[in-house]
Amino acid sequence: MSFSALDSQITGPLFRTERMAGVFSDHARIKAMLRCEEALARAQAMAGLVPVTLATAIASITPDDFNLSELGQATALSGVPTIPFVKAVQANLPRDLEPFFHFGATTQDIADTALALQMREGFTLIARDLATIISELVSLAERHKSTPCIGRTYMQHAAPITFGFKISTRIANILAFAQRLKPLCDQSLLASLGGPVGTLTTMGTHGPVILKAYADALKLGCPPIAMHAQRGPMAGIAAWLAGLCEALGAWGSDIVHLSSTEVAEVSEPYVAGRGGSSAMPHKRNPVSATVLLAAATAAPGLASTMFTAMIAPHERPAGAWHAEWHALPQLFGLTSGALQEAHHLAKGLNVDVARMRANIDHTHGLFFADAASAALAPTRGRADAYAIVEAAANHARSQGGELETILLASNLTPSERNAVEQAFRLEPAIAAAAQWVDPVCEKARAVHAALLNFVEEA
């Protein structure tokens, strides 16, 4: 039985990657919890609180030594997975070491820190995918730097731009999140160790030193005080993941519209059997863009769960912390699926340059109305120039004809005619749009390099 589309064997492959599913699997959770306990034992051994052999004994235990079904049943009884986990590990330790295992720690310490380790691995996968997508989008933008297409506002024709400019705006949107990935990890992936109420009383004056050694061993950040009720870092991670899904979704919304029958300026790369309809054999639906939009639609609700969970009474909340277990893995899963489909789009998007040009001509030059009005303003004044062009535009809409032809046939002076003719040239608009592509691509390359460096250091 599957209660989530991400966990389903049927729908899961559509919405998340197998690699990310592996990061948040039960096997990975147990592995991360064992790493936490080993690091804790080493830190405590340095302070003389536990035998030095304890860490080595913990390291010899693997996730395969656990019966996950029994752990699940015991978790349903205890309310948290750490309690049966601790008992299972103790059963595998030599009798003389068993009393020292998990010394001074509490359930949330291990659960939170293990999740931080899993999220760090998840972020590494995201960084790698982001770097690939950014590189592919840069190539797409540069390839179409000067490809004319119509700019749209309120879903209507506005003024000419280039397809490279349109792609560059989406690159910039993605970069806004990509460049914050490393700072986010540095500030939000933290080691949790506070004991029952956050004071590490049983560790005495060694508490702060052990926390620092514990965090360093796991290569996680060290919070200044117990993070049991400090859920801002977790909420920040959720906000970043949801924001990235929204940035990808914005691009997906462009693709859906541009690939519609009436527009037909782009299409997703063809894959046999992909995007079909159970009723209409001719259909080629935009599957990748659909997945981007699905993730963008679902992610904000999951992020809101994390913000609600920030209301954590006293030293540890009831329920709010548990709700995070639902939201964070799903956010990572949705993000991985969105990135997978974004890669598919960026790498193989089909661009119909001829159709873009045809769509520019569709409104018979109406989008040049602003430029024409500006051309007449020096001699006619702004208000009169606007009225002249507006009347010509209304004539073009109601009776047909090119706006430029209608204007030139009106009562204009030779100099005004020349100004109007210049206003209807496409080249200035193309040059204006194209000039923004290179700066975005240059920044993208820098972010791409930073992401690759992040992956290497992880």
- Rounded to whole angstroms, the Cα distance separating 313 from 320 reads 9
Look at the chain and count its residues.
458
Tokens 């909420």 identify what position? Answer: 235
CA dihedral 38, 42, 48, 49 (to 10 degrees): -20
372 contacts: CB under 8 Å, gap ≥ 6:
389, 392, 403, 404, 407, 420, 423, 424
Tokens 């496409």 identify what position? Answer: 426
Selecting among 277, 382, 397, 425, the annotated active-site residue is 277
- Rounded to whole angstroms, the Cα distance separating 304 from 238 reads 8
Residues 80 and 90 sit within 8 Å (Cβ to Cβ) = no
Spacing of C-alpha 214 from chain mean position: 30
Residues 77 and 71 sit within 8 Å (Cβ to Cβ) = no
Q: Is 277 one of the annotated active-site residues of the chain?
A: yes
- Rounded to whole angstroms, the Cα distance separating 363 from 365 reads 6
Decide: residue 439, CB within 10 A, 0-12 exposed, 13-18 middle, 19+ buried: exposed
Decide: residue 394, CB within 10 A, 0-12 exposed, 13-18 middle, 19+ buried: exposed
Sign of the alpha-carbon torsion through 15, 20, 21, 26: negative
Closest CA to 191 of 230, 235, 159, 157: 230
β 156-162/148-153 pair status: antiparallel
Closest CA to 36 of 126, 129, 119, 102: 102
- Rounded to whole angstroms, the Cα distance separating 34 from 243 reads 32
Selecting among 316, 336, 373, 380, the annotated active-site residue is 316
Strand residues in 246-329 grouped as ranges (E): 266-267
Q: Is 139 one of the annotated active-site residues of the chain?
A: no
The residues carrying an active-site annotation are 277, 316
